[in-house]
Amino acid sequence: MPVLLRGGRVVDPAIGLDAVCDVVIDDGRIVEVGEDLKVAGATVIECAEKIVMPGLVDMHVHLREPGFEYKEDVASGTRAAAHGGFTAVAAMPNTNPICDEGSAVRFLVERAAQRGKVRVHPIGALTVGLKGEALTEVADMLAEGAVAFSDDGEGVQNSGMMRLIMDYAKQFDALVIAHTEDEALVGRGVVNEGVISTRLGLPGWPAAAEDIMIQRDIRLSELTGCRLHVAHISTAGSVELVRQAKAKGLRVTAEVTPHHLFLDEEAVTGDYDTNLKMNPPLRAATDREALIAGLLDGTIDCIATDHAPHGPHEKALEFEVAPFGSTGLETALPLVITNLIAKKLASWSDVARWMAVNPRTVLAIDDVRIEAGSVADVTVIDPEARVEVTPEFFESKSANSAFLRATLLGKASEVFVGGRIVLRNGKVVD
Amino acid sequence: MLSTRHIIDIQDLSAEDIALILDTAESFKEVNERRIKKLPTLRGRTVVNLFLEPSTRTRTSFELAAKRLSADGVNFSASTSATVKGESLADTAETLSAMACDLVIIRHKYAGSPRLLTRHMDAHIINGGDGMHQHPTQALLDLFTMREKLGRLEGLTVGIVGDISHSRVAGSLVPALRMVGARPIVIAPPTLLPAAPEALGAEVATSLDEVLPELDVAYMLRIQMERAEGMPFPSVREYANLFGMNSARLARMKPDAIVMHPGPMNRGVEISSAVADSSRSMILDQVNAGVAVRMAAMYLLLGGEANASAS
């Protein structure tokens, strides 16, 4: 049955569209975009005061399946994605077993087909077992559906190995996503090195540990010609390095998380709230300002959540031993609306670029446009909805959010994946 | 009474709280000099020493303080605790809470662990040292000793020398000194300074000899080799030459200046034996003050006078 999205503000920067109009979806595709459309027998969804845009893509999530299903699995993680307004996610390989070979990629593809609410794009490991020692079978994983490669969670420490990886990936034009962390500099670091680490007596993690690795990887990208995407950029120095790389015309892109954009190290107070323990850590206010500036000027291409669910018993540990990470899928869009749209720092076209258009371009996955003939992956946003971030709010199995107890503005109301409605009136459709 | 339920961070206390603890400790110190060193003040109250990191002097000091106030003291140490069986600190806290403990003193290798306890139990908490963060009763006993020996705290210049970056003693003592109007200077090679020493509220020096004549107190920290990641100085010999307190340096200090150390000492490294055993050394006075100060802290947290009159 056709669906008519009536009277929404339709935004798609890839085709220069920003207008109030109707969108008709039928048989998995967008069949018509225009004013005052009439479709016999269509389900009508009123979209006045709402935003209609290409389905959001989160290119950095941890679905935790296989191996850590108590934290999250494909079913719950993709429900959380739909709840957050996403039509697709890219899943990092640090599961157990690690997604470092074709069969593991195939498992995830099949599991997503059976249980996924939204599309799941596997990311394969760069090195066997994420150990930084041996190349993985990139070609085999690509054939099974991997869209990119990363040792996320572990920086590849050996420069020679990283060069080998990039040289090898280049022949397939495969995307290498770098987790930039010089382990010798990080040491036991758990918070940004500076005022907060000193005041709280916690081991510090210097910004230079990120900058140095980014500089190395950009240089290796230049040497090899391999496409490089920098994961969860967190420092002013890194933003500047990516800016310079782009100015030189190198094939380098970058992402930033909502928690690095909207929180800084001052959030880590004497309460030692482990939901604020991140890898990389929340940085100084000046870093946060540089990240916002880098996003607004196009240096940073994408907002990605690094959705990192953990069990409550794990986050209830002492700060130094609790695992790193915060959930992110369900708060990302409300945070962007609250902090950038409502404050008039960004436009809806910007949001569509950061969260829908650019992630697809970086991952080189199917093009989605709000135009006739396109696959109907569509997100409808209610910018006036209020979101109370409580443990009950989440569709994710885990509630370890850095934004717990926040009140946010705006959220996705409808989500279509291949024309199938998976979120309706802000609720996941079963 | 104190303005706080817990003593976790020295800054939980107000300047008035600090004065009250020091004054209360004066009277307890007198008790400790009697033949019968016991008061009925905390009879029927349960105090748990939750020491999850090796410690002898601090644990003994708290234990004696509890006993002298007639509290029922229990030791819960790392080697005998459920933590070696994999129980989390949160679970341990809830277990102790179910046993209706009144006061828990926690020593732990991770910063912030006393705060974690407060989320899982109702008892009063005293931080007996958490990682590289704080050790507030050490700072209090140090203030007590300085006040007793020098007659005042306000206006004193106190040099804290050594491994500032790993030192929970410095973490508490620097803000404590600021609260009482003293002037703290941390003195160390850059490899032993935290990333932002100014965040603690101290002046910073990298040469002991330059600031030595200004000091009323030279507070020598133990070099904690077990905490350092990699050797932070070329050799113990070079460290002792640059930052060790010896007779020659002592002679260059003000005539009434004192030398302190939280113990245990590395003789010949941060302090020479001649200085450690001299009349200018307050090391044993600090230990002595520790029991009285901890008695005062426990007494004031657990209801103090009201409880005493009830007994």
Which chain A residues contact residue B108 at CB under 8 A? 318
Position B226 confidence tier, pLDDT thresholds 50, 70, 90 = low
Q: Helices in A85-207 by DSSP H: which ranges?
A: 102-115, 138-144, 159-170, 183-186, 195-200
B296 close to B68: Cβ distance less than 8 angstroms: no
CB-based contacts of A229, cutoff 8 Å, min separation 6: A148, A175, A176, A177, A178, A252, A253, A254, A255, A362
Closest CA to B78 of B51, B104, B99: B51
User: What is the percent of chain A where pLDDT is above 90?
Assistant: 99
pLDDT reported for residue B309: 37
Closest CA to B252 of B280, B292, B224: B280
| Mean pLDDT confidence for B291-305 | 89
| Residue A33 in this model has a pLDDT that exceeds 90 | yes
Among A73, A100, A182, A306, the one annotated catalytic: A306
| Mean pLDDT confidence for A294-308 | 98
Query: Using CA atoms, how far apart are residues A328 and A335, in angstroms rounded to an integer?
Result: 10
Shortest distance between the Cα of B300 and any Cα of chain A, in A, equals 23
Q: Name the closest residue on chain B to residue A314, using Cα atoms.
A: B88
- Contact yes or no for A201 and B130 at CB 8 A: yes
pLDDT reported for residue B79: 66
DSSP B143: H
| Mean pLDDT confidence for A401-427 | 98
Which chain B residues contact residue A188 at CB under 8 A? 229
DSSP A124: E
3-state secondary structure of B41: coil
Query: Using CA atoms, how far apart are residues A292 and A370, in angstroms rounded to an integer?
Result: 27
B88 touches chain A (CB under 8 A): yes
| Residue B310 in this model has a pLDDT that exceeds 90 | no
Query: Using CA atoms, how far apart are residues B81 and A349, in angstroms rounded to an integer?
Result: 58
Buried b (16+ CB within 10 A) or exposed e, B186-223: bbbbeebbbbebebbbbeebeebeebbeebbbbbbbbb
Which chain A residues contact residue B115 at CB under 8 A? 270-272
pLDDT reported for residue B1: 87
B185 close to B160: Cβ distance less than 8 angstroms: yes
B287 close to B260: Cβ distance less than 8 angstroms: no
Q: Helices in A337-387 by DSSP H: which ranges?
A: 348-352, 358-363
CB-based contacts of B276, cutoff 8 Å, min separation 6: B259, B261, B265, B267, B283
B162-211 pLDDT, tens digit per residue, is 999 999 999 999 999 999 999 999 999 999 999 998 888 999 999 999 99
DSSP A354: I
